[in-house]
Structure 1
Amino acid sequence: MSSLTFAPATVLAERLRRGDLTPTEVVDAYLDRIAAENDRLNAYVTVRREAAREEAREAERALAAGEPVGPLHGVPVAVKDLFAYHAGTRHTYGSRVFEDYVPERSAPVVQRLEAAGAIVIGKTNTPEFGNRPTTDNDLVGTTVTPFDTDRTAGGTSGGSAAAVAGGLAPLAQGSDAGGSIRIPAACCGVVGYKPSFGRVPKGNRPNAFDGHSPFVQHGPLARSVADAALMLDVVAGPHPEDPFTHPDEGVDYRGAVDRPVDDLDVAYSPDLGVFPVEPAVRETVADACGALEASGATVHEVDVEYGRAREEIADAWRTYFQTLMAGVALQVEEVHGVDLLDRDEVDPLFVRIVEAGREYAVTDRQRADVVRTDVYDAIQDIFAEYDLLVTPTLGVLPFETTERGPTEVDGEPADPYLDWILSWVFNMTDHPAASVPAGFVDELPVGLQVVGPRLGDERVLAASAAIERHRPWADRYPGLA
């Protein structure tokens, strides 16, 4: 059944509508695959075995009765176990404190997936409250990339990325505050997409206005650009629970996949101006830029000038992220009555991040905003001249799970939490960004990051699809029969 579980979601959806497959066949194939592989990959925290089978039978009845069905009718999806609540399904936040918590409501992104006919097959692993760029916690352990089970799947959506790459789900939801979709996409050789702020609703409660920061975005992880676009078509759009979603602008994510890119001028930065990048990664990404040239686009290497050192920019990002985590702890206390700083089983790293976040003053955020403005202006300067920007997603290959992150990159000392990651800059600037497979080094995947101008999601998808057409990766997944 591995060929079925590696079929594109677009193909599964079409075959289900035609009656070539039944939802029960598809769900059972994935459940069998999960039973065989999840102990090895540790992608799922919770699997909805009986509930998913019952929903598959309901989906079959709807098809047999000729009822109208949605674009994902009968297609299994995996949902990250962080803030994408699914009513009636255990939701842990990656924390032992919430090992038995079951929410009563579903998040807007999950509501839309189910309204389109998707069957939530399980909740995927994440570090505790999304506190680090690798996926490991004390509740279920470490998630690994299917390409080498001694190496990290990345984080924080590592469970979702590993599930998709391992054939344990055709589609998965992730969330991204600094690369948490794109980092694991690069480590697992899949497509990960962070849309523009306001494209996909969040519906935060009790504080709906906590979502004003473009730092956190929901988005898809998939094995193809078309699959990611299909999921975006389903989950994007205005929602009454999110005051920051954009009005319906008629964006056609799925249609963007087929658009030509021969009129695009593309800027290529091998290091975003300030990041260390291992030579093998740099060479692979540079070579992958040839796929855009083969599609008719022009590619020019550029320098990115911020007027700031990397450490200044990183300090600004830390200010935002640490205060964001302090807000998460406050929200947990308000909603659940749990003081996470007073629980021995909480990850000490999360506690340190929250404590640091609580020390910032308003003036600290204002100073960070000045740095953020310089970063934004530098990226906007690129888009004043070019249509897209491409970079490596990460400066390194997936590293061993015994590491928290590399302390040295290309001979340069590195902060293991930030300095190998080229994605978090675009959470600061609110530019849409995808990570797509660029190629492989020693059988390990390398991610190429495609960044678009603000609200330029269709352009990012078009370029990502062009890369896929000229450098296909669909046959490279381990376990594909």
Structure 2
Amino acid sequence: MTGTTDPAGPTGPTRPNGPADPGGLADLTAARLVEGYARGEFTPVEVARAVLERSEHIQPAVNAFVRIDAEAAMEQARRSADRWRRGEPAGLLDGVPVSVKDILLLRGGPTLRGSWTVSADGPWEEDAPSVARLREHGAVFTGKTTTPEFGWKGVTDSPRHGATGNPYAPGRTAGGSSGGSAAAVALGAGPLSLGTDGGGSVRIPASFCGVFALKPTYGRVPLYPASAYGTLAHVGPMTRDARDAALLMDVITGPDARDWSQLGPVPGSFRDGLDGGVAGLRVAYSPDLGGRVEVDREVAAAVRRAVEALEGLGARVEERDPGLPDCLEAFHTLWFSGAARVTQHLDPGRRALLDPGLREVCEQGAARSALEYLAAVDVRMSMGRLMGAFHTEYDLLVTPTLPVTAFELGGEVPPGSPYARWTGWTPFTYPFNMTQQPAASLPCGVDGGGLPIGVQLVGARHADALVLRAAHALYEAGAADVPPPPALASGPVSGSGPASGSAAGTVSGTVSGPVPRPAGS
């Protein structure tokens, strides 16, 4: 393990995706870790060591991290262990390893957002609100996870940090834009990660990587600095199951005055009623958005089995489409305008450093008029009204998370796709950023090649706890069980280097994985 003065941990059998970890500590959920700390079964130091070693083991294969800060993490773990020995844990997640997408501020190191246009120069003295709440609760921060530039697309690759490979097949994409977080959670590099979602960015990689993710109701998790993508952007948990997500939500929904659009305090806990089941819930199942989406046969079959599982648990299921309009152009107007805004200050030289696809959408966004933007807002409002009425009849809407499974690295769209942009293959995710509803993705099977498939559960605005409860019921019933990722080869993921082909940086005490520099820098 790099960057720490702690002695090496005890030897033991090698885990499928990691070095010696005799207790399988890196594979435990956050809830199980907290339980183990309270019982004295193991310590935060032992867990942090196992998770950091796993993180560095998987990094060459999938490029999940842009920074692994082992020294800081081990110091946080030692302080946590002292608190547990005294019987005075700081909060709900004291000693639990957490990674943070490199879009959110994490005090003490740069937040580079996958872009050569962001300087690493400090000071970096602020935490994002969700990060601040985690710090208050004693979490151990292991590092920052990989993102495409400014989180602009549904796959994870950037000129600065390269591509993130899928845990099940590193030559395929992990999805995006929270792909690094999804890969880390799937491979045992920490049970919890913070992602962001402006058009599907926690749900897309969760579906591709076989983990759980929740896009909460807009404003439920405070966000600062405000996203250039405006009220499309949400912060959400990425975890191994719904119970851990509920635990994480209990922490990160704490108030923060820096977010002017945050919602009021949550009454009670997201874990309250989590075991209440789905009996009697009214569930609408839309397999293809009224015939508008062509869904892969294996994906459709796996999602249908998940729906049948809900029915078997007592839910009242009806095949019914909500009748959402085609909102692609409205979403593009809002999304591309946000991208244009975040890069507006760049001079031509720095603009040339951007991902070429991002440059293209920025140009398109800058060409949108104020009237076009307001017309897109009108579309959002009409969609919100429609879904509000829909949820007076149905408690949940169930869809596939994505119509496909993970495709090859190196492209924004699957090979042979008729679409130019990532939104062409994500028709089930971005509409619910338009409406600001809570939406979760959880695994429901694998395709013939062993790649995970996701099912999406959507609730009415503010019904986050209900979405978590239904997801938890599927986990408890075994309907969300998927095989673990296969053992990883030790070589670098294909395509993880920079577009320019320049050499990757070396691993140091705080940086792990490909950290290339552009030609001539």
After TM superposition, the score normalised by the length of structure 1 is 0.91
Q: C-alpha offsets along residues 284-303 of structure 1, whole Å, 9 cap, x if unaligned?
A: 10111112112111111113
Amino acid at match of 1:419: G
**Alpha carbons of 1:362 and 1:469: their partners in 2 closer, same or farther (altered >3 Å)?**
same
Once the two structures are TM-superposed, the CA of residue 170 in structure 1 deviates from its matched residue by 0.7
CA distance in structure 2 between the aligned counterparts of 1:408 and 1:452, rounded to whole angstroms: 34
Q: C-alpha offsets along residues 41-67 of structure 1, whole Å, 9 cap, x if unaligned?
A: 110000011111111111122222333
For 1:222, the equivalent position in structure 2 comes to 239
Are residue 90 (structure 1) and residue 110 (structure 2) matched?
yes
Say if 1:6 and 1:480, in contact at 8 Å, map to a contact too.
no
**Alpha carbons of 1:343 and 1:403: their partners in 2 closer, same or farther (altered >3 Å)?**
closer
Amino acid at match of 1:146: P
SS in 2 for 1:448: strand
Say if 2:148 and 2:176, in contact at 8 Å, map to a contact too.
yes
Say if 1:329 and 1:354, in contact at 8 Å, map to a contact too.
yes
Say if 1:27 and 1:76, in contact at 8 Å, map to a contact too.
yes
Are residue 153 (structure 1) and residue 167 (structure 2) matched?
no
Aligned counterparts, 1:354-365, within 5 A: 354-365=362-373
**Alpha carbons of 1:179 and 1:437: their partners in 2 closer, same or farther (altered >3 Å)?**
same
CA distance in structure 2 between the aligned counterparts of 1:196 and 1:211, rounded to whole angstroms: 18
Once the two structures are TM-superposed, the CA of residue 340 in structure 1 deviates from its matched residue by 7.5
Are residue 423 (structure 1) and residue 429 (structure 2) matched?
yes
For 1:248, the equivalent position in structure 2 comes to 265
Say if 1:192 and 1:222, in contact at 8 Å, map to a contact too.
yes
RMSD: 2.1
CA distance in structure 2 between the aligned counterparts of 1:134 and 1:456, rounded to whole angstroms: 28
SS in 2 for 1:227: helix
Once the two structures are TM-superposed, the CA of residue 339 in structure 1 deviates from its matched residue by 4.2
CA distance in structure 1 between the aligned counterparts of 2:268 and 2:148, rounded to whole angstroms: 33
Aligned counterpart for 2:303 among listed residues 282, 285, 290: 285
After TM superposition, the score normalised by the length of structure 2 is 0.85
Q: C-alpha offsets along residues 347-406 of structure 1, whole Å, 9 cap, x if unaligned?
A: 122222222222222210122123223433443342121111000010111111133212
Say if 1:197 and 1:217, in contact at 8 Å, map to a contact too.
yes
Aligned counterparts, 1:29-428, within 5 A: 29-82=50-103, 84-98=104-118, 100-102=120-122, 103-204=124-225, 213-273=230-290, 274-306=292-324, 308=325, 310=326, 313-330=327-344, 333=345, 339=347, 342-406=350-414, 413-421=418-426, 422-428=428-434
**Alpha carbons of 1:439 and 1:196: their partners in 2 closer, same or farther (altered >3 Å)?**
same
Which shifted more, 431-440 or 320-329? 320-329
SS in 2 for 1:59: helix
Are residue 437 (structure 1) and residue 436 (structure 2) matched?
no
Once the two structures are TM-superposed, the CA of residue 479 in structure 1 deviates from its matched residue by 4.9
Aligned counterparts, 1:458-469, within 5 A: 458-469=465-476
**Structure (1 or 2) with the greater helix fraction:** 1
Say if 1:166 and 1:479, in contact at 8 Å, map to a contact too.
no
CA distance in structure 2 between the aligned counterparts of 1:471 and 1:271, rounded to whole angstroms: 25
Amino acid at match of 2:143: G
Once the two structures are TM-superposed, the CA of residue 475 in structure 1 deviates from its matched residue by 6.2
**Alpha carbons of 1:4 and 1:391: their partners in 2 closer, same or farther (altered >3 Å)?**
same
Once the two structures are TM-superposed, the CA of residue 222 in structure 1 deviates from its matched residue by 0.4
Amino acid at match of 2:339: M
The count of aligned residue pairs is: 463
Greater RCO structure (CA 8 Å; 6+ sep): 2
Which shifted more, 263-272 or 92-101? 92-101
Say if 2:106 and 2:128, in contact at 8 Å, map to a contact too.
yes
SS in 2 for 1:174: strand
CA distance in structure 1 between the aligned counterparts of 2:415 and 2:390, rounded to whole angstroms: 30
CA distance in structure 2 between the aligned counterparts of 1:343 and 1:362, rounded to whole angstroms: 23
For 2:505, the equivalent position in structure 1 comes to none
Say if 2:287 and 2:300, in contact at 8 Å, map to a contact too.
yes
CA distance in structure 2 between the aligned counterparts of 1:384 and 1:169, rounded to whole angstroms: 39
CA distance in structure 1 between the aligned counterparts of 2:52 and 2:406, rounded to whole angstroms: 27
Say if 1:291 and 1:471, in contact at 8 Å, map to a contact too.
no
For 2:501, the equivalent position in structure 1 comes to none
**Alpha carbons of 1:388 and 1:417: their partners in 2 closer, same or farther (altered >3 Å)?**
same
**Alpha carbons of 1:67 and 1:339: their partners in 2 closer, same or farther (altered >3 Å)?**
farther
**Alpha carbons of 1:97 and 1:342: their partners in 2 closer, same or farther (altered >3 Å)?**
closer
Which shifted more, 178-187 or 465-474? 465-474
Say if 2:284 and 2:321, in contact at 8 Å, map to a contact too.
no
For 1:19, the equivalent position in structure 2 comes to 40
Q: C-alpha offsets along residues 140-187 of structure 1, whole Å, 9 cap, x if unaligned?
A: 211111111111100000000000001111100000000000000000
Say if 2:99 and 2:194, in contact at 8 Å, map to a contact too.
yes
